[in-house]
């Protein structure tokens, strides 16, 4: 993908700044290479969708183009590192790579820019609220150097909204210049509200997000950290389920993976370990009963091969619980019904009625995956994300996240991505390849024309 300069970017993708950067970056003396190689310009961008052959024509016509600003260090920075105080917070569910992000942010701030005052806010947004009485953790290279080898977050986390004005009060009291928020969609929406309150008070505080979701469903971000590790561990679960299924006549391995609204983990893990016969994800509807239903297809599979493996994302099949009252977690998310246990019971009842003796093993590795350390690929990915988050914040950019698009790390405005999700589409290559690998075909019964 070509990097374009001096493109008049679309208003939706423009990045907010606190003011004009006037301070020469200290990292210019630390890195090898020419100035052009080391530093990025705010006008350097990656086109989002437009075909390259039409770019010249669009520029000549004076049209704005949908493009993302490239991430990376700038020649001039906004904050004086010797006087800067930064805060980090991790929010929502655990995810492989949280400690890696913390580590890379701290090391970049401390060693590349010379920022000595870095604070970790404990237990998510609760840490800003005085009534919770959570302490603040001072972060230095010495106490983050080995944390990438551990799962979870050394800062802890929490769910649920907190008073935005109280959060900004805390930032003001602590004299924070940059707030790094590591979290999912709810965190990004909170980041946008925090930024709005900061502007209303005319404060000079940068808010930089690092998007976190193990489900890989963040809009306008090609891949989120932790996803690679999740797929890696999920393949081990598939291997185990396959061996269990193979070991018994009419053996069935049933695995439930994460994926509330998007089935990227289930679909990708299926292709990484091609021992799966049926994949059920939130985006693709399926029936249980009937000629084309899962239970009929499963019976046919057992008759032919004597064993089967089923992979299901946690958000799939929620239509089977429509009569139940909806409940919500502290973050406002609908509490999903357990499709794994439901499906296990339905499969057992179906084959009991047919007097067919099956052996079903149910595996749910979800929480084990969430709390494990990141693998090598995610570790490298987190290093890029964390360091680019620092470059953006130091330069005075705000109300944005570090994303990955068309093989480049980019700046994405929070309003462009918050509250939206990406999904596995039925016509995409990912799902079509899953269908080829499993041979499951459609699991929806054909409707009668009568």
pLDDT band at 323 (very low <50, low <70, confident <90, very high): confident
Which of 370, 389, 407 delimits the end of a domain?
370
Query: Alpha-carbon distance 256 to 336, whole Å?
Result: 13
pTM, whole model, 2 decimals?
0.92
Structure-token match 């950067």, residue found: 21
Is residue 365 one of the residues assigned to a domain? yes
Largest separation between any pair of C-alpha atoms in the chain: 78
Mean pLDDT of 188-210: 97
Which of 370, 401, 430 delimits the end of a domain?
370
Judge whether 94 and 366 are in contact, CB under 8 Å. no
Instruction: Identify the CA nearest to 404 among candidates 375, 428, 383.
Output: 383
- Provide the CB-side half-sphere exposure for 449 (13 A, CA): 0
Burial of 416 by CB count in 10 Å (0-12 exposed, 13-18 middle, 19+ buried)? middle
Do 218 and 82 sit in the same domain of this protein? yes
Is residue 292 one of the residues assigned to a domain? yes
Is residue 438 one of the residues assigned to a domain? no
Q: Which residue has the higher pLDDT, 328 or 111?
A: 111
Q: Is 22 left (phi over 0), alpha (psi -120 to 50) or beta?
A: alpha
Do 239 and 310 sit in the same domain of this protein? yes
**Looking at 44, 195, 215, 217, which residue is catalytic?**
215
Query: Alpha-carbon distance 143 to 11, whole Å?
Result: 41
Sign of the Cα torsion 384, 385, 390, 391 reads positive
- Indicate the DSSP class of residue 299: H
Do 154 and 182 sit in the same domain of this protein? yes
Do 214 and 290 sit in the same domain of this protein? no
For the chain, the domain total comes to: 2
Instruction: Identify the CA nearest to 181 among candidates 125, 221, 114, 238.
Output: 125
Do 364 and 295 sit in the same domain of this protein? yes
Mean pLDDT of 192-211: 97
Q: Is the per-residue pLDDT at 22 higher than 70? A: yes
Q: How large a percentage of the chain has pLDDT more than 70?
A: 91
Q: Which segment of 20-29, 126-135, 285-294, 310-319 scores lowest on mean pLDDT? A: 20-29
Q: Is the per-residue pLDDT at 85 higher than 60? A: yes
Mean pLDDT of 25-50: 76
Which of 305, 339, 370 delimits the end of a domain?
370
Sign of the Cα torsion 48, 52, 56, 61 reads negative
Do 236 and 93 sit in the same domain of this protein? no
pLDDT digits over 41-60, tens only?
998 988 887 555 566 666 66
Q: Is the per-residue pLDDT at 409 higher than 50? A: yes
Query: Alpha-carbon distance 272 to 288, whole Å?
Result: 26
Judge whether 419 and 211 are in contact, CB under 8 Å. no
CATH for 201: 3.40.50.450
Sign of the Cα torsion 338, 343, 346, 348 reads negative
Mean pLDDT of 200-229: 95
Do 261 and 330 sit in the same domain of this protein? yes
Is residue 98 one of the residues assigned to a domain? yes
Do 366 and 380 sit in the same domain of this protein? no
- Indicate the DSSP class of residue 9: B
Task: Tell how many helices (H) and how many strands (E) occur in the chain.
Answer: 13, 17
Judge whether 171 and 205 are in contact, CB under 8 Å. yes
CATH for 307: 3.40.50.460
Q: Is the per-residue pLDDT at 332 higher than 80? A: no
Is residue 40 one of the residues assigned to a domain? no
Burial of 80 by CB count in 10 Å (0-12 exposed, 13-18 middle, 19+ buried)? middle
Catalytic status, residue 195: no
Q: How large a percentage of the chain has pLDDT more than 90?
A: 81
Query: Alpha-carbon distance 415 to 256, whole Å?
Result: 32
Do 187 and 85 sit in the same domain of this protein? yes
Look up the domain containing 129 and give its range. Answer: 70-224+374-417
Is residue 427 one of the residues assigned to a domain? no
Do 358 and 400 sit in the same domain of this protein? no
The residues with which 328 forms a beta bridge, in sequence order, are 334
The predicted structure's pLDDT at residue 450: 44
Is residue 148 one of the residues assigned to a domain? yes
Q: Is the per-residue pLDDT at 419 higher than 80? A: yes
Query: Alpha-carbon distance 146 to 141, whole Å?
Result: 9
Q: Which segment of 236-240, 312-316, 325-329, 442-446 scores lowest on mean pLDDT? A: 325-329
Q: Is the per-residue pLDDT at 11 higher than 90? A: no
Do 262 and 124 sit in the same domain of this protein? no
Do 243 and 123 sit in the same domain of this protein? no
| Mean confidence (pLDDT) of the chain | 92
Is residue 46 one of the residues assigned to a domain? no
pLDDT digits over 336-393, tens only?
999 999 999 999 999 999 999 999 999 999 888 999 999 999 999 999 999 999 999 9
Query: Alpha-carbon distance 151 to 153, whole Å?
Result: 7
pLDDT band at 228 (very low <50, low <70, confident <90, very high): very high
Q: Which residue has the higher pLDDT, 102 or 11?
A: 102
Q: Would you list the DSSP string of 177-231?
A: SEEEEEE-HHHHHHHHHHHHHHHHTT---EEEEEEB-TT--BTT-S--BTHHHHH
Burial of 219 by CB count in 10 Å (0-12 exposed, 13-18 middle, 19+ buried)? middle
Judge whether 368 and 375 are in contact, CB under 8 Å. no
């Amino acid at each position: 993908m070509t990097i374009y300069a001096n493109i008049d970017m679309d208003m939706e993708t423009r990045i907010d700044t606190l003011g004009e950067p006037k301070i020469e970056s200290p990292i210019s003396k630390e890195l090898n290479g020419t100035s052009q190689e080391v530093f990025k310009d705010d006008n350097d961008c990656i086109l989002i969708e437009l075909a390259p052959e039409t770019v010249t024509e669009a520029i000549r016509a004076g049209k704005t183009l949908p493009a993302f600003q490239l991430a990376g260090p700038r020649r001039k920075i906004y904050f004086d590192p010797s006087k800067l105080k930064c805060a980090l917070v991790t929010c929502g569910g655990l995810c492989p790579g949280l400690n890696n992000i913390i580590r890379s942010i701290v090391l970049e701030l401390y060693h590349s820019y010379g920022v000595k005052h870095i604070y970790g806010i404990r237990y998510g947004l609760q840490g800003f609220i005085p009534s919770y009485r959570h302490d603040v953790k001072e972060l230095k290279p010495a106490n983050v150097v080995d944390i990438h080898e551990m799962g979870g977050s050394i800062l802890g986390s929490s769910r649920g909204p907190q008073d935005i004005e109280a959060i900004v009060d805390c930032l003001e009291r602590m004299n924070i210049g940059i707030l790094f928020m590591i979290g999912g969609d709810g965190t990004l929406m909170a980041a946008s509200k925090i930024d709005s309150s900061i502007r209303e008070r005319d404060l000079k505080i940068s808010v930089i997000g690092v998007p976190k979701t193990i489900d890989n469903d963040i809009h306008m971000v090609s891949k989120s950290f932790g996803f690679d590790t999740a797929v890696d561990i999920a393949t081990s679960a598939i291997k185990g389920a396959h061996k269990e299924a193979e070991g018994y006549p009419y053996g069935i391995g049933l695995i439930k993976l994460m994926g509330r609204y998007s089935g990227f983990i289930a679909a990708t893990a299926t292709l990484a370990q091609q021992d799966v016969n049926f994949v059920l994800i939130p985006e693709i509807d399926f029936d249980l009963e009937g000629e084309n239903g899962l239970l009929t297809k499963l019976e046919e599979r057992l008759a032919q091969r004597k064993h089967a493996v089923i992979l299901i994302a946690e958000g799939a099949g929620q239509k089977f619980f429509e009569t139940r009252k909806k409940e919500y977690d502290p973050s406002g998310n609908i509490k999903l019904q357990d499709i794994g246990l439901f499906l296990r019971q339905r499969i057992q009842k179906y084959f009991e009625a047919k007097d067919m003796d099956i052996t079903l093993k149910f595996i749910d590795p979800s929480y084990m995956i969430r709390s494990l350390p990141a693998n090598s690929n995610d570790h490298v990915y987190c290093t890029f994300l964390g360091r680019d988050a620092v470059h953006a914040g130091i330069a005075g950019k705000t109300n944005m996240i570090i994303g990955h698009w068309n093989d480049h790390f980019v700046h994405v405005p929070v309003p462009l991505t918050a509250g939206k999700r990406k999904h596995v589409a039925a016509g995409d290559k990912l799902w079509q390849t899953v269908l080829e690998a499993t041979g499951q075909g459609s699991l929806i019964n054909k409707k009668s024309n009568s």
